A and B are shown apart, each in its own frame.
Chain A
């Protein structure tokens, strides 16, 4: 016959505490240690040791409790702050055009952010050797690889700043993120590293809103929304095809500007991303971009190479031209382009004044091409990026004169290459 002792007042009190633990958030340190230990063991036994309750016990600071926790190897699980959209590793390729023979410091700096992903490094044909540290899933393409894929006559397309486009060509992932090899991760105001992969993908995976300007910027960011007066029919947005990031420290200014203001550094971290409106032209900076290769890959063209293109951004316009083409294609196909976060930290490289001494044909170029792009209209028959590019190439040949014939031809070549590599 079971003749159980009736429960003691203490035991009832502990039961009641357990039962009401979800309501208790006050300091437990007033409890005598032996009662605290009893409570702790009973909590464990009842399976009610949640992180919050564990914190309550830890906060008492009582030695016995702390050593018990340690002995039982109970660990506080820190919930990682996940990015707004989950990033699947196999949908991303990181493409780097290498100008430096030793990429060790660059890759080490980016390791916390890049190590999950597949990386394509395209070696600038002028480089003699290339050093890459261990521990990355990286594929290096050299000049001979390029020749194998596109033939020796087309290989020159991928030299200098245009080498990264070869990476775009051979990638088979959906999203490409591409930065210059003289950039480091930036830090937010809280001192955390800016995860450009997560942020670029967040930009690309949330809709863009090119048809009407939202004064609170990207309405799909947390804490933001469409403002009063924003038409409801436009609130579903369009897919975002291109995400243009920004730069702290050395901003992407042209040579004259930087030469005039040699000490000017961009220190302002602006926590915003926004859609570049329809028909608005913009200067895309290849220093820090990401795009949806399936949507606009064919439009990311290494078509324009300055005669004296050098190894610093002050001596190239390939990305600016490419950006004008991509924006035109996106406007026509009702895709979006976003600009703003994420930031990278751009390191000092080169001399603006030295670049200035070279003939800056890029500056003259912009004056000619802007009116062209502003009045360019594509036909309704162009429904893919490839078709758009072919139409733009024809228009370039017809309207921009002999100076740009090779540009037009390169654009057509690129589309052919793109199709050939895909098949």
Chain B
């Protein structure tokens, strides 16, 4: 094998963190090794902190369990969910990188129709580094993809696009259905490889799945709070949905783009639909009110940063969704706590005070 004269660096190797929430094990990383090894991992260990989660050899990582989360955030740790993959957003909080890729521990490498293994991370990076086009729909989808372009009639003034803040990937095999659909169609598998990436238009909401997701941490990180789910909460399996709705509204306001489509990963584990039904039950009813709420949100011009947008959103949540259930008041407070934690751990470069909290994982790199 010929060795290149200069070392070929994987794209964004020093600017991207991979955040993985896990309550089981990280065996799946073996299959991803060729694609993930050059990158730094942030493992968020959910559940019993006394368990040791083994990380396969050769990966550069930091691992946080619940004790670490409590220690680092102190009283603010109340905003981080327990016994739910929503805890992954702690990883977003403590990362120091510009980009995040997050993936679930039951997601494996998929193959495209030609049999080639898909480097999902590379595709996310391409999505994030090319502009998005939310203001006018391109019928040939992402015009920045090789072999595609803007079609006739696409206004030239809009062809520069906007910065892509979120790259939402999809899944082959076990589809991300809700519990009722899972119960009705337990055998359905997603076998259709749809070879497209597209921008979700402005003012259009979508159900964001956290299984295979990349985003620009500096531009939209503060909005990627995965809410209060799991233990002690009346709802589950709506963490990524909540983050997606908040983030989309804020992206629309700040003229940032959200892409969906490629890459595909292979989703291997079908969760128990009866357990899911119990978790989602309230969400199924609440989302009927939540969706119109997000569809009608307008953020004031003065909200020029994702943090300001998010704080404003938290006020609206308390005001408009609070009457539905006291959960939303708690959630609104948690949203504020999250931003406090974010600002504390990610002080802006022009602020005089340095970070007062030293972030140290329990397992050294």
B-binding residues in A (CB < 8 A): 189, 212-217, 223-234, 244, 246, 251-254, 257, 261, 264, 266-272, 276-285, 313-314, 317, 319-320, 323, 339, 362-363, 366-367, 370
How close is A208's CB to chain B, nearest CB, in angstroms?
Answer: 13
CB pairs A–B below 8 angstroms (6 shown): A252-B152, A266-B140, A266-B148, A270-B141, A270-B194, A285-B139
| Interfacial residues of chain B within 167-217, with CB under 8 A of chain A in the complex | 168, 170, 175-178, 181, 185, 188, 190-196, 200-209
13 new A-B contacts, CB < 8 A, other than A213-B205, A229-B287, A339-B139, are: A215-B170, A223-B190, A228-B237, A233-B288, A246-B140, A251-B149, A254-B150, A271-B194, A277-B203, A279-B203, A281-B136, A285-B152, A314-B152
Which of B139, B148, B156, B196 sits near A367, CB closer than 8 Å? B156
Known contacts A283-B139, A370-B155; is-contact A215 B177 (Cβ 8 Å):
no
- A227 x B153 contact (CB < 8 A): no
3 closest cross-chain pairs (CB), A and B: A283-B153, A229-B207, A320-B153
Known contacts A232-B284, A268-B195; is-contact A212 B205 (Cβ 8 Å):
yes
A-binding residues in B (CB < 8 A): 113, 136-141, 147-158, 168, 170, 175-178, 181, 185, 188, 190-196, 200-209, 237-238, 240-241, 244, 260, 280, 284, 287-288, 291
- B209 x A228 contact (CB < 8 A): yes
- A313 x B155 contact (CB < 8 A): no
The chain B residue sitting closest to A316, CB to CB, is B152
Known contacts A215-B260, A268-B148; is-contact A277 B201 (Cβ 8 Å):
yes
Known contacts A223-B190, A225-B188, A228-B176; is-contact A254 B207 (Cβ 8 Å):
no
How close is A282's CB to chain B, nearest CB, in angstroms?
Answer: 4
Report how far A164 CA is from B210 CA in the complex, Å: 47
Dominant secondary structure at the B interface = loop
How close is A213's CB to chain B, nearest CB, in angstroms?
Answer: 4
Report how far A386 CA is from B158 CA in the complex, Å: 31
- A216 x B175 contact (CB < 8 A): yes
How close is A379's CB to chain B, nearest CB, in angstroms?
Answer: 20
- B151 x A253 contact (CB < 8 A): yes
Which of B138, B147, B206 sits near A215, CB closer than 8 Å? B206
Known contacts A223-B190, A228-B241, A280-B202; is-contact A264 B147 (Cβ 8 Å):
yes
Best-surrounded residue of A230, A246, A279, A285 (most CB of chain B within 10 A) = A230
The chain A residue sitting closest to B291, CB to CB, is A231
Which of A227, A246, A253 sits near B152, CB closer than 8 Å? A253
